[in-house]
Structure 1
Amino acid sequence: MGVRVRRADGRDRDQVVRILEEALHDDPVSSWVFPDEEHRRAVHGAFLGVFADITLAGGRVDLLEDGTAAALWFSVPAGAPEGGGDAPARMREASDPGNERAELVGRLTGAVHPHDRAHEYLLLIGVSPERQGEGLGEALIGGVLDRCDREGVPAYLEASSERSRGLYERLGFTFVGRTVDLPDGPSMWPMWREPQNG
């Protein structure tokens, strides 16, 4: 697929947040964190903005040049938690201080995140709704996965739906065997990808 990917910087922050907000508005996890749609529309951007800020400061944000998709990555060293300080508390404070779910989702996923081996962590990916299903997400993350394969580095993510789990399985990710079950809400699927040869 002939897409052009570039590394985003601080000037792209608002565009990255807009892409994520549009792409993830109806995501099962976002809908669980902010069950009232009108309220979600009001605070979701601030919530996702914390992800963007942390990743722009200490990770890597890849952006399709046409502005239709963004992927947020961290290089996670062995034995250390991913960067960003107390990100779950920051997410809650920045978006919806009275909403425990805005912090809990980060705490639950953080508790199962593997740290025994260095890896690339796909924190979030979003494709504009009108472009979903065209292979843009795969094209966007393909460069990082190709580098993982060349350098012998695994990758990790949490799929937030059965559909996304299937997409990631096609890219070589496998479910680690235990879901993250949000209280009275959806499950998330932690997935690991060993580097591929050929």
Structure 2
Amino acid sequence: MSNNLPVCRAHWQDIPHIVDLVVGPFADSTIGAWLVPDDHRRRNILSAVVRVWIEHALLFGEAHLLPDHSAAAVWLHRYGPLSPPAGYGERLAVACGEYVDRFLHLDDVLHTHRPDGPHNHLAFFAVAPQPYRVRRASILLATSNARMGHALLPTYTEVATLADRNLYARHGYAALEPFTLPDGSTTYPMWRTPRQRRARHRSSTPPARPDQRGPALNDLPIRLILDTSAILAFTEGSTAVGQAIARVADEGGLFGLPVMCLAEAARSVTDAGRLDLLANHPAATVLTVDPLQWKTLAATHRAVGRLDTAAALLAAAANDCRVLSDQPGR
């Protein structure tokens, strides 16, 4: 039903539009003025910082837009501890210069008050000052909530005004204890618990084994296989891998993670949290090797020299799709 609403998922090329939407009111706010006291540099600095976080959201979350780009919702999937963007400290220092400590202080305040449990975090929600602004906000918020609700996880956000707090309350959000930002302004955290889906009729067929994909996923095609190098690249913040899996998800497909590639990546990954996020991505499916294919696996292993690479090639052949690798020549 939500697919019929006039809301689309944002792509990498939409980032400049989202940045403009977010930075407009941000630059005019008291917290924006506190972060960057210099009126002439404020918009450029805020734009650079907001872009870092929106890029991060497209890798570890999602963003939704109205088709005319008049409103945007940017989400982070906080299914577990979420690391900051790759190279965040360096990028922040370059963007903010002498104001970097103010941004880090704001990060600390927001982190202190953010819930710890798994949830989807509405990091940015911006609507252009056009006619029917409230209606546009309501359409986008309702649709975003519906899409986030598919994961059956709570959603969290912070709003700056009582009017916004009332808007979110009409969409099922409950107000948490307000807190004060470094500039002295008050922020209102909001929490929404998703409605539980009705239990389905019990099937007469036996339940699937843990290593089998459920019926809903079986209806979706696997369009891409990530090998070990691509998995590791994703955990290191690779935009190329992030864009590739975002395209697969946008097209209604799945990307496969061979269990041998996941296990090999886990041996050397530096950010296990991002590996968990990838494995729990709504469009991800973990693939095992069919025991009856052990001879084919062995022959492929002899040919390529790595068992995880052989598993990725077999998965691609079985699903008639390509392998995404971060290593040239593979």
TM-score between the two structures when normalised by the length of structure 2: 0.52
Query: Is 1:52 aligned with 2:50?
Result: no
Distance 2:187 2:91 in 1: 18
- Cα distance in 2 for partners of 1:71, 1:110 equals 20
Q: Percent identity?
A: 25
- In structure 1, the gaps of 5 or more residues are none
Alpha carbons 1:71, 1:140 under 8 Å: kept: yes
Aligned partner of 1:183 in structure 2 is 182
Distance (whole Å) between structure 1 residues aligned to residue 5 and residue 149 of structure 2: 20
Higher helix share: 2
* Separation (CA, whole Å) in 2 of partners of 1:185 and 1:35: 15
- 2:11 alignment partner, one of 9, 12, 17: 9
Report the alpha carbon displacement of residue 122 of structure 1 after superposing the two structures with TM: 0.4
**Correspondence 1:92 to 2:92:** yes
Structure 2 counterpart of 1:19, one-letter code = L
Larger Rg: 2
In the other structure, the counterpart of 1:109 is 110
2:289 matched to which residue of 1? none
Please state how far the C-alpha of 1:94 moved relative to its aligned partner: 4.5
Deviations 1:68-89 (A, max 9, x none): 1111012221xx2234347874
Change (3 A) 1:151 1:15: closer
**Letter paired with 2:175:** F
1:26 to 20, 28, 43: 28
Deviates more, 1:181-190 or 1:145-154: 145-154
Per-residue deviation, 1:187: 1.9
Tell me by how many angstroms 1:34 deviates: 2.3
Bigger relative contact order, structure 1 or 2 (CA pairs below 8 A, ≥6 apart): 1
Which stretch of the first structure deviates more once superposed, 118-127 or 141-150? 141-150
Aligned residues: 193
Letter of the 1:182 counterpart:
L
- Give the Å deviation of 1:14: 1.2
Distance in 1 (alpha carbons) for counterparts of 2:82 and 2:114: 9
CA distance in 2, matches of 1:188, 1:4: 30
Deviates more, 1:120-129 or 1:183-192: 183-192
Q: CA 1:124 to 1:49, structure 2 compared with 1: closer, same or farther past 3 Å? A: same
Q: 1:130 is matched with which residue? A: 130
SS state at 2:43 partner: helix
How far did 1:151 drift? 5.2
Tell me, in whole angstroms, the C-alpha distance in 2 between the residues paired with 1:191 and 1:114. Answer: 10
Contact conserved, 1:46 with 1:94, CA < 8 A, in 2? no
1:154-169 to structure 2, matched below 5 A, reads 154-169=154-169
- Does residue 64 of structure 2 align to residue 65 of structure 1? no
Distance (Å, rounded) in 2 between the aligned partners of 1:83 and 1:150 = 24
Deviations 1:168-195 (A, max 9, x none): 122221222241x223421212211112
* Closer/same/farther in 2, CA of residues 6 and 83 from structure 1, 3 Å limit: farther
Equivalent residue, structure 1, for 2:327: none
Q: What's the offset of the Cα at 1:15?
A: 1.4
Alignment check: 8 A CA contact 2:73 2:144 kept: no
The 3-state SS of whatever aligns with 1:98 is: helix
Q: Which of 150-159 and 83-92 deviates more?
A: 83-92
For 1:157, give the aligned amino acid.
T
Q: Distance in 2 between matches of 1:104 and 1:88?
A: 14
Q: Does the aligned pair in 1 maintain the 2:31–2:183 contact within 8 Å?
A: no
Q: Offset at 1:164?
A: 1.9
